[in-house]
Amino acid sequence: MLLPKFEYHEPTTLEEACRIMSELGHGAKPLAGGTDLIVNMKKKIVSPGHLVSLSKIDDLKKIDTSNGLLKIGACLTAAELAESKEIRETLTALSRGAESLGSPLIRNLATIGGNLISARPAADLPPALIAYGAKVALKNSSGERLVSLEDLFLGPGETLIGPNEILTEIHVDSPPPSAGAAYIKLGVREALEISLVNVAAFISMDKDGSIQEARIVLGSVAPTPIRATSAEQILTGEKPSETLFSSAGEAASKDSKPIDDFRASAEYKRAMVEVLTQRALNQALIKVKDNG
């Protein structure tokens, strides 16, 4: 299947990329790994007249861990995230999500920014990042704004990113030692399969051993990743136990909004949300204990 005709631009700085995007307007799309964009162009889903490659912009391929804030460049690949010592030690759930993303070939091409911009309900990286309270930096020739990742997604394939904006970084506060997180994906063939259900859990503990804060994020069971707020409310202020985690799993199942499709029924997906939420919470608690 042939690609439609387009002009290719390869800026070497972010400022140059923003200028090109501004000048070209709606007819331009930023290009990173291309694992979604190129496929969609071949299928004639999108037909941009200009592609603005971000591959030569080194500032988009860095991880900055200064001042208690992790700034992750949007052009880092899933493989680089999975292999990063900083990510593996600090953002365990994100590292696991990156490991779960597609085949080795896809992980070497797909970028964190592209995975977010694609806004796929089953994407591996958004649930973990939302669980960590991540924000994304959106830049154009007029300036930059920070947006909560939770608010970025409007629907399948839709985000609030403006036509001239480039997603440049993901910002995550370094979790305290009293916090732990986990990501679990259910697919027929794990990494090679689109998620049937994916769940990310984050908990931080108070000095008395109770849960100070909890975030449960569900993927593949709604048009966008969603917070299981009922489950979070059940957990907050309580001391961890199997009974508590079981109740949270039941609540998360009720918070989910799956549909029947060719891969599984909505009923099955709800049941798996309950199971995976309990497992993710147990893994997050183990991480807290490992932190000492």
pLDDT at position 193 is 57
Give yes or no: residues 189 and 285 share one domain: yes
pLDDT at position 262 is 80
pLDDT at position 191 is 46
pTM (global) more than 0.85: yes
Give yes or no: residues 168 and 190 share one domain: no
Q: Tell me the pairing of strands 179-186 and 197-205.
A: antiparallel
Give yes or no: residues 48 and 63 share one domain: no
Give yes or no: residues 238 and 254 share one domain: yes
CATH number at residue 285: 3.30.390.50
Dihedral in degrees, nearest 10, Cα atoms 21, 24, 25, 26: -110
Q: Is residue 1 part of a domain?
A: no
Give yes or no: residues 133 and 208 share one domain: no
What phi and psi, each to the nearest 5 degrees, are found at residue 129?
-65, -40
pLDDT at position 2 is 74
What domain count does the chain have? Answer: 3
Residues ≥6 apart with Cβ < 8 Å to 82: 88, 95, 98, 99, 107
Listed residue (216, 159, 220, 226) closest to 193, CA to CA = 220
Listed residue (197, 245, 242) closest to 219, CA to CA = 197
CATH number at residue 81: 3.30.465.10
Give yes or no: residues 117 and 169 share one domain: yes
pLDDT at position 189 is 53
pLDDT at position 1 is 67
Compute how many other C-beta atoms are within 10 angstroms of the C-beta atom of residue 146.
10
Give yes or no: residues 167 and 62 share one domain: yes
* pLDDT per residue as tens, the chain (292 positions): 678 788 999 999 999 999 999 999 888 889 888 878 888 888 888 888 899 999 999 999 999 998 889 999 999 999 999 999 999 999 999 999 999 888 888 899 999 999 999 999 999 999 999 999 999 999 999 999 999 999 999 999 999 999 899 999 999 999 999 999 999 999 755 445 578 899 999 999 999 999 999 999 999 999 999 999 999 999 999 999 999 999 999 999 999 999 888 888 999 999 999 999 999 999 999 999 988 7
Q: Is residue 2 part of a domain?
A: no
Q: Is residue 196 part of a domain?
A: yes
Q: Tell me the pairing of strands 50-53 and 28-31.
A: parallel
**CA 76 to CA 108: how far, in whole Å?**
9
Q: Is residue 62 part of a domain?
A: yes
**CA 83 to CA 86: how far, in whole Å?**
9
pLDDT at position 46 is 84
Give yes or no: residues 62 and 165 share one domain: yes
pLDDT at position 213 is 98
Q: Is residue 79 part of a domain?
A: yes
pLDDT at position 188 is 56
Give yes or no: residues 203 and 253 share one domain: yes
222: domain range?
Answer: 180-291
Dihedral in degrees, nearest 10, Cα atoms 218, 224, 229, 231: -20
Q: What three-state secondary structure class fits 222?
A: coil
